[in-house]
């Protein structure tokens, strides 16, 4: 590559900077290691990152602040009602019954 640059540019001083860059890249690819891995792996990972799609999982959203304490209490109640599901008595009994059954089936005392 250095020879091709020298022949194409036909001037040693004009070709010096690209030739030095090509030689530095060749030396880095041959001898430089990042975290005990060859430099070509780093170049490949950088190229794949640049070429591939990006997935942004978290984006901060600005929520307006409540103006009064009454509004803050109202917002907190609405939030609690949204986040906590209501369980009826029959569902609660079903869940406790299933836990009791599993406990008796898998307990060590019952297997003796």
Write the pLDDT tens digit of every residue in 5-27: 888 888 888 889 999 999 999 99
Neighbours of 15 (CB within 10 A): 19
pTM of the model as a whole: 0.42
Place of tokens 């030396």: 27
Q: Which of 6-15, 72-81, 87-96 has the highest mean pLDDT?
A: 6-15
Q: Could you read off the pLDDT of 28-39 as tens digits, one per residue?
A: 999 999 999 999
Q: Exposure of 75 by Cβ count < 10 A (0-12 exposed, 13-18 middle, 19+ buried)?
A: middle
Instruction: Please report which confidence band the pLDDT of residue 112 belongs to, taking 50, 70 and 90 as the band edges.
Output: very low
pLDDT of residue 72: 64
Q: Which has the closest alpha carbon to 20: 43, 47, 1?
A: 1
In angstroms, the CA 29 to CA 109 distance is 66
């Amino acid at each position: 590559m250095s020879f091709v640059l020298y022949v194409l540019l036909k001037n040693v001083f004009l070709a010096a900077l690209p030739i030095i860059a090509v030689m530095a890249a060749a030396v880095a690819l041959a001898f430089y290691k990042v975290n005990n891995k060859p430099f070509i792996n780093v170049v490949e990972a950088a190229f794949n990152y640049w070429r591939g799609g990006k997935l942004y999982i978290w984006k901060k959203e600005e929520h307006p602040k409540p103006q009064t304490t009454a509004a803050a209490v109202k917002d907190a109640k609405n939030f609690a009602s949204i986040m906590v599901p209501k369980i009826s008595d029959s569902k609660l009994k079903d869940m406790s019954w299933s836990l009791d059954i599993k406990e008796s089936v898998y307990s060590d005392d019952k297997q003796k």
